[in-house]
Chain A
Amino acid sequence: MFAIALGLMLAADPSVKLTMQLSQDSQAFEIIGLGEGELDALRKSPPADWATIFSVSVKQESPESLTLPMSGRHIITSRTLRFEPRFPPAPGVTYRVSFSGSKLPIVGEVTVPKVDPTPRTSVVAIFPSANRLPENTLRFYLQFSGPMNLKDIYRHVKLIRDDGQEVDHPFLEIEEQLWSADGTRLTLLCDPGRVKRGLVPREQDGPILEEGRRYTLVIDRGWEDAEGRLLRETARKTFDVGPPDDTPVDPANWTLQSPVKGWTNPLLIRLAEPLDRALLARMVWIEDAAGQRVPGELSVGGGERVLTFAPAKSWTAGCYHLTVDTRLEDLCGNRVGEAFEVDMFQQVQQKILTRTVRRAFEVR
């Protein structure tokens, strides 16, 4: 919780002041010290006039720029004329306020203090976490500790080869950006035109990653967070590149370590290879003998090679199924039962089906 109240004398009459209040959940510019007569006259005038009488606008770089007033609403309270902007006054921005009540028009400026620039946000994880990745790795996830600034984001991310060469535009630069719902995880999608074989971009510019080489993914600290602070440090992930992976995901190759009845010890699942961090979290679950989902928590660890499922209640004896949505992908877009690149001579399914595969296990 924080609040800033700035007083600014507006008129020759020192009792009339502009204050700006800025707190966690509300923001307002207020003219205080107006006489009852003046307030009454304002109440009687059409609300559309209030915006002309009391206008708040951003002081832009170009002085000649037509400044539109800030979006918001005007209210006359019992003692003040108040403007509540739709969006909070931004740190470091100067607002020009003009008030033309019954007195002569007054113009004033107020600058919102900048936030403490001490960096607070950092990249807390980069997935896949392995140090050796297949040549046709399709995607990276950057997990930040808080929301980031959304403008021109891709210039802050670089992929550098072991000889110092920067890989030219390795990631799809999508204006809409691929952020998680809470705005802290960014998906970097490797340009599929260069990951997939036989396409023009790959012929022109080559693959993004080459087997046998080493690369570093760099997220530079100049990328500001949502509050305008630099990152704590530049984040780096160095990895070696191995051969491409064209094998579909096969849960039949996973190792299950069954839990014991009466306890809440987790079911332990060892995967055959690292799989996609985000998809593991939502495409794997446990069903009981009746086909109902077992409540509990699925955790992903061990370099995205180990899953643990901790039940909410202790296990009862019986038959369970580890259930996997076939859309679960590995690092290269291969799904359950289906490789990323499908030979055309295979029958392509005519209809999309939501499918799962299941592995049975017993709790004794």
Chain B
Amino acid sequence: MKKFLLSGAIVALALSTAAAADIPGLQKGSPVIKSISALAFCPQGCLFIGDPASQTIFAVNTADSTPSGTGDLNVEKLDEKLGSLLGVTGKDVKISDVKVNPASGNVYIAASRANGPAPVIVRLGRDGSLKEFSLKDVAFASVKLPNAAGEAITNMAFVDGKLIVAGLSTEEFASTLRVIPFPFKDADQGAGIEIFHGAHGKLETKSPIRTFAPYRVSGADYILAAYTCTPLVRIPVSDLKAGAKVKGSTIAELGNRNRPLDMVVYTKDGKDYLLMANSARGVMKIPATGVDKVEAITARPKGEKAGVGYETIAELKDVTQLDALDGGRALLVIAPQGGSVSLKTIPMP
């Protein structure tokens, strides 16, 4: 009996080792994370965690790189479920970020209690199961952000072997974009980059980035950045060099009622689009190729079968988090004022 169990255990261990991608530059340990304001993934399943309270970025191997299913993910009462782990009721839960692990398709959610930043990371499996992602005895690395006193880490993305981190100062009106090579090197913590934008050709000002999304076109990497003012600009990643002042090219002027919270870039019918969660206007689709008009989707796509239960995207208000589930679908977190929070899958429009 014992022998059988032992060999079973060995098989299980072998399977789990095969599932864990080999990510360089990490050491075993239990990182202490004080807060989480942003998450990001590398293609092999390395989870990056932005901790503004300790001004540190962590990289953790999730050991979750086996494709885990392709179905839609829809979860009701997500706030209550997260609250259960945190020990509070649903209304006292604050969700900081939601990101899909591209290596497995599982979803990672950073949440905390409304009265304090101590976080928990929860893995939502493609089968709908929710489990805490423990930071005990994991392979990890960390890098402290220099000169980042009082900075909110708003956005991160892994592009071409580097982690791009956008921060917003709590004091100066400053935009910081840092490009941090990965694996993290002690000496190289990423260089600060100042972003300018032009407005109607006359005045240039510094402008913090509110949110950004990476994308690739014609073999080159770009980021699409939504500023705290209005413009949506495209910046080549190759321009993001240490100590540089960078001006992006405006691809859209968003009006005041567009408050971009989250964005992803996707391709449909050979064209690139930006899908943007906007607290006032629902979910919007913007051509990424430089058209000034922003269109809100209102029509139900043609050919939809009756009874599929599809909601028009313009009615999807209160979307607070957005990520690509895969090339053809988006994952939304919907948090209406005073209502319960749900997670929903929609096709890319």
- A binding-site residues for B, Cβ under 8 Å: 57-58, 60-62, 65-71, 85-90, 93, 95, 138-139, 147, 149-152, 169, 172-181, 183, 187, 189, 191-194, 196-201, 204-205, 226-228, 276, 278-279, 282, 327, 329, 333, 340-344, 348-352
Contacts and interface: CB of A to CB of B under 8 A. Distances in A.
Contacts of B170: 178-180, 187, 278
B154 A197 contact: no
B86 A71 contact: yes
CB-CB nearest 7 A-B residue pairs: A201-B256, A151-B114, A176-B152, A178-B170, A226-B115, A68-B84, A193-B229
Given A86-B120, A147-B116, A192 B229 contact: yes
A70 B24 CA distance: 33
B202 A327 contact: no
A87 B118 contact: yes
A189 B228 contact: yes
A253 to B, nearest CB: 21
B196 interface: yes
Given A57-B84, A176-B168, A344 B229 contact: no
8 contacts: A60-B80, A62-B77, A172-B210, A191-B256, A199-B199, A200-B230, A276-B172, A352-B193
Contacts of A187: 170-171
Contact of A343 (B116, B192, B202, B228): B202
Interface string B197-218: 0111111110110100000000
B291 interface: no
Contacts of B53: 181
A282 B172 CA distance: 11
A178 B168 contact: yes
A88 B84 contact: no
Interface stretch (B8-16, B87-95, B264-272): B87-95
A152 B168 CA distance: 19
Contact of A174 (B80, B84, B86, B210): B210
B113 A61 contact: no
A90 B245 contact: no
Contact of A228 (B115, B117, B173, B210): B115
Contact of A61 (B86, B89, B261): B89
B26 interface: no
Interface string B107-123: 00000111111101000
A344 B172 contact: no
Given A58-B88, A179-B170, A352-B243, A342 B205 contact: yes
B84 A90 contact: no
Given A68-B84, A342-B203, A279 B172 contact: yes
B37 interface: yes
B203 A196 contact: yes
Interface size class of B (residues with CB under 8 A): 35 or more
Contacts of A173: 259, 279
B150 interface: yes
Most chain A beta-carbon contacts within 10 A, residue among B81, B83, B87, B261: B87
B173 A60 contact: no
Nearest to A281: B171
A192 B255 contact: no
B115 A227 contact: yes
B253 interface: yes
Given A60-B83, A228-B115, A201 B229 contact: yes
Given A71-B85, A181-B150, A147 B115 contact: yes
Given A90-B87, A197-B203, A344-B203, A329 B245 contact: no
Residues of A contacting B: mostly: loop
B139 to A, nearest CB: 21
B320 interface: yes
Contact of B130 (A68, A341, A350): A68
A139 B174 CA distance: 12
Given A68-B84, A193-B256, A204-B256, A174 B171 contact: no
A352 B194 contact: yes
B248 interface: no
Interface in B23-66: 37-38, 52-53
Given A172-B228, A278-B171, A149 B114 contact: yes
Nearest to B167: A176
Contacts of A279: 171-172
B215 to A, nearest CB: 22
Nearest to B256: A201
B221 interface: no
A151 B193 CA distance: 31
B311 interface: no
Contact of B245 (A93, A175, A197, A352): A352
A201 B149 CA distance: 30
A200 B254 contact: yes
Contacts of B208: 192
A200 B255 contact: yes
Contact of B81 (A66, A193, A227): A66
B337 interface: yes
B207 A85 contact: no
B153 interface: yes
Contacts of A86: 87, 120
Nearest to B88: A90
A351 B243 contact: yes
A87 B86 contact: yes
A55 to B, nearest CB: 11
Contacts of A340: 173, 205
A57 B259 CA distance: 37
Given A198-B199, A199-B199, A139 B84 contact: no
A342 B213 CA distance: 27
Contact of B199 (A69, A150, A196): A196
Interface in B135-176: 149-150, 152-154, 168-174
B317 to A, nearest CB: 15
A344 B204 contact: yes
Nearest to A148: B115
Contacts of A58: 83-84, 87-89
B296 interface: no
Nearest to A112: B87
Interface in B67-113: 77, 80-81, 83-92, 94, 96, 112-113
A67 B84 contact: yes
